[in-house]
Structure 1
Amino acid sequence: MGRLQKILIPSLGLVLAFWFYSARDTFKPEMLRGKRVIVTGASTGIGEQMAYHLARMGSHILVTARTEAKLQNVVRRCLELGAASARFVSGTMEDTAFAQRVVREAQTSLGGLDMLILNHVGASYFGFFDGDVEHVRKLLEINFLSYVAMTTSALPMLKESEGSIVVVSSMAGKVGFPFTVPYSATKFALDGFFSSLRQEFAIQSINVSITLCILGFIDTESAVRAVSHVIPDTPAPKEECALEIIRAGALRHRQLHYPARAVGTMLLIHSIAPELFESIVRGSYRLENVRRT
């Protein structure tokens, strides 16, 4: 009976989640027209594609990343695609003061904020943990503490607009995969912080939604370069991923799984049989190509 419950309860949860999200699947691009949106990590990859989707929807966009030249090109393209307005702030999220400055820029130039999309990520390695505590600290500052700083700074504006926070995370923030120890630690931290914050919002009747996006292998240049020699899977398209993130945020979903079937199945198997799941994962890697300390 106990084993049956372990199988049936997660399965029932998956069915209910599918029904719940399908019933609310009424996204229209007009929902983002005129909305004031910050997108971090927007010079390449998923962030860049989110900026372009928002531009086509007629949003006011503020993008940020480290490289000014790339951001200039993104802003130029956003304006060509029909953005209500587009501007950028360049800098590094290693400094929480910069994270707060981005939010102040939104208040000054946009007059408020409707959606905060936190997507930036620090560079890490894919290989056995090398014991570098300083690297873990630096990654926590970029991948976690800057998210906290931006959220804290943006909350007054988001409360006023009854807006949305969208947090781009990963399967590595739900399941302990090998070879991603520092990265995984930062993504688990995001889940803990924002899931707890969502509960506090509910208790205080604060009408600001939090959407946690759990992503699998996406065909961004950085992801493909880091893991394609180890992981045999075909990556999902970043353009579709970016649109799904925006849609989930606009519909105020609690969580997005993308690619939905792959991520949902892996999480379900992990909840039912974690040891089996971990064994399958270990057996799926090309271990001869993994970086060793």
Structure 2
Amino acid sequence: MGLLLKIFIPLLGAALAFYFYSAPPSFKEEMLRGKRVIVTGASSGIGEQMAYHLARMETHLLLTARTEAKLQKVVEQCLELGAASARYISGSMEDPSFPEVVVREAENTWGGLDMLILNHIGHSTFNYFDGNVGHIRKLLETNFLSYVAMTTSALPMLKESEGSIVVVSSLAGKVGSPFAASYSATKFALDGFFSSLRHEFIMDKVNVSITLCILGYINTESAVRAISHVIRDKPAPKEECALEIVKAGFLRQRELHYPPWVVGTAVLLRDIAPEFLDSSIRSSYRVENLKRT
């Protein structure tokens, strides 16, 4: 049984993940030409790379993040890459009014919206849970409640265009991960809310797709800085990850798992071999590099 778990189950997980969650080859970049897209958390990392891919596809872009100077540079690059238009609005998702401000800007500028990509996250430490409930409340505002608020504000336009909502989440929102209790809680909340909302859309015949993106360890600057000293695994490329997210959203996939062989195997093991998954998780960390608080 041990040999079966170690060899066949990971292979099966990888095969299933590739089959169910990889974007079909029918995607063509020109399909997105002229589409109106909001990308949050677009000043760096995966959000920045998504903006560049969408710019090459000649979309209209509205980008958001906290840092105005970084957003300016991303917008300039997007215009050079061929975006039909590109603009930004800076602000913090910790401000409950900011999501509505962003959506109103899109409505005033374009009169509609085709795709809402929710990608921003709040700052979170990677260590043993220290009992800081206030931090969890703050993180929920940014990582979860602002996603709900933006979706609520954008939904009338998305219903009219029969558009798409793309929610960038994490493997930590499918499988409990050590040293990320606060972060993991917010990502599980995203799965619960948007998976439920998808069912309601289906029942009410609302033709707005919801794509939940379950990401593993990606080589963004913030992720590498936060966890590279603890995680043994090699991170996946952010450029490819960003492109897969854009494809999955446009093709209206229910879920994207990236990297598929890593995420798909973990989700499968969670359901059929949790003890083996627990052992695998423990072996993936250099716990000696963390300090208890």
**TM-score (normalizing by structure 2):** 0.93
1:275 is aligned to 275
1:54 is aligned to 54
CA distance 1:273–1:258, change in 2 (3 Å): same
Give the secondary structure class of the aligned counterpart of 1:86: strand
1:143 is aligned to 143
Alpha-carbon deviations, 1:251-285, whole Å to 9, x = none?
00000000111111121122111122112211221
Give the secondary structure class of the aligned counterpart of 1:226: helix
Aligned residues: 287
1:98-109 pair list within 5 angstroms: 98-109=98-109
Q: Any stretches of 5+ residues in structure 1 without a counterpart?
A: 1-7
1:178 is aligned to 178
CA distance 1:128–1:21, change in 2 (3 Å): closer
1:25-174 pair list within 5 angstroms: 25-174=25-174
What's the CA shift for 1:110? 1.8
Segment of structure 1 superposing worse, 227-236 or 277-286: 277-286
CA distance 1:230–1:141, change in 2 (3 Å): same
CA contact (8 A) 1:230 1:287 kept: yes
Alpha-carbon deviations, 1:133-164, whole Å to 9, x = none?
00000000000000000000000000000000
CA contact (8 A) 1:27 1:247 kept: yes
Say which structure, 1 or 2, has more relative contact order (CA 8 Å, 6+ apart): 2
CA distance 1:16–1:61, change in 2 (3 Å): same
Over 3 Å off, 4+ runs: 10-25
1:224 is aligned to 224
| Distance in 2 between residues matched to 1:284 and 1:253, nearest whole Å | 30
| Distance in 2 between residues matched to 1:234 and 1:20, nearest whole Å | 24
Alpha-carbon deviations, 1:215-257, whole Å to 9, x = none?
0000000000010000011100000000000000010000000
Give the secondary structure class of the aligned counterpart of 2:97: helix
What's the CA shift for 1:212? 0.2
| Distance in 1 between residues matched to 2:23 and 2:108, nearest whole Å | 38
What's the CA shift for 1:15? 6.4
What's the CA shift for 1:96? 2.0
Q: Any stretches of 5+ residues in structure 2 without a counterpart?
A: 1-7
Segment of structure 1 superposing worse, 180-189 or 266-275: 266-275
